[in-house]
Structure 1
Amino acid sequence: MQIRSFQLSDYRSVAELLKEVLSEECCEETMGAFARQLSWDSELVLVASIDDVIAGVLIGTIDQQKGYVYRIAVHKEYQRQGVGKALVSAMNARFRQRNVLKVLIAGDKHNEVLRPFYEALGLAPVDFARPSRPLAIVAG
């Protein structure tokens, strides 16, 4: 497995992965946030590839010296094989390189269902918070 920064050539595979793994509402929100994060800092969008196949993606952001894991998605065929854990670990390394003081999980209803996953990685419920600069802004 290789964890690396998102590349433009990954776009179609990542979009298909998000559409397959996430609910329709979550996917819509995530695609907008994904585009915004790419325009702000594409180094905080990580992909996991296995045999040249995109197995997972993690979208992170930094807001006021706090690092946020905004969204993680792992292809169903690769779940429970350490892909998510590897993505979070790689993002934590990126955050440390940038002197992030605290890592949090973006607290939204879509991440709530992943609470057991995050808690298994050692993150407490207090680590769920909303960034002051939201990645997902729902047009209304």
Structure 2
Amino acid sequence: MQIRSFQLSDYRLVAELLEEVLSEECCEETMGAFARQLSWDSDLVLVAESADSIVGVLIGTIDQHKGYVYRIAVRNEFRRQGVGRELVSHMRNRFRQRNVLKVLVAEDKHNEVLRPFYDSLGLKSTDIVQLTQPLAIVAG
């Protein structure tokens, strides 16, 4: 498995992955945030690739020296194999390279089910923040 930056040629495959693993409402919200993040800083969108197939994606953003893990999605057949953990680890490295002082998880109603995953990464409850505004306002 390889973790790398999103490339424009990945767009269709990432969109299909998001449609496959997220609820319709979550996917709709995520696609908007995904497009906005690509226009701001595509290096904070990471993909996990295995055998020339995209099996996971993580959308991150930075706002005022805080890095946010906004959305993570992994194909069902690749879950519990370390894909999400690797995506988060690589994003943390990206944040460090940019002198981000604090890494947070942007929790919304769609991310609540991932709380055990974030707990397994050693994140404290103070590292998981409820967004009071859409990602576009936070990062823009």
> How far apart, in 2, do the equivalents of 1:134 and 1:113 lie?
19
Q: Which residue of 2 aligns with 1:64?
A: 64
**Aligned ranges 1:1-140 → 2 under 5 Å:** 1-130=1-130, 134-135=134-135
In structure 2, relative to structure 1, the CA distance for the partners of 1:86 and 1:114 (3 Å cut) is same
List per-residue Cα deviations over 1:42-91 (Å, max 9, x = no partner).
Answer: 00000000011001000000001000000000001111000000000000
> How far apart, in 1, do the equivalents of 2:84 and 2:32 lie?
21
> How far apart, in 1, do the equivalents of 2:68 and 2:131 lie?
7
Note the aligned Cα RMSD (angstroms).
Answer: 1.4
> How far apart, in 2, do the equivalents of 1:28 and 1:14 lie?
13
> How far apart, in 2, do the equivalents of 1:47 and 1:113 lie?
21
Question: TM-score, structure 2 length as denominator?
Answer: 0.94
Between the aligned residues of both structures, percent identity stands at 77
**Dislocated runs of 4+, deviation >4 Å:** 130-133
> How far apart, in 1, do the equivalents of 2:71 and 2:120 lie?
17
Which residues of structure 1 form unaligned runs of 5+? none
Aligned length in residues: 137
> How far apart, in 1, do the equivalents of 2:3 and 2:81 lie?
14
> How far apart, in 2, do the equivalents of 1:54 and 1:136 lie?
25
Which residues of structure 2 form unaligned runs of 5+? none
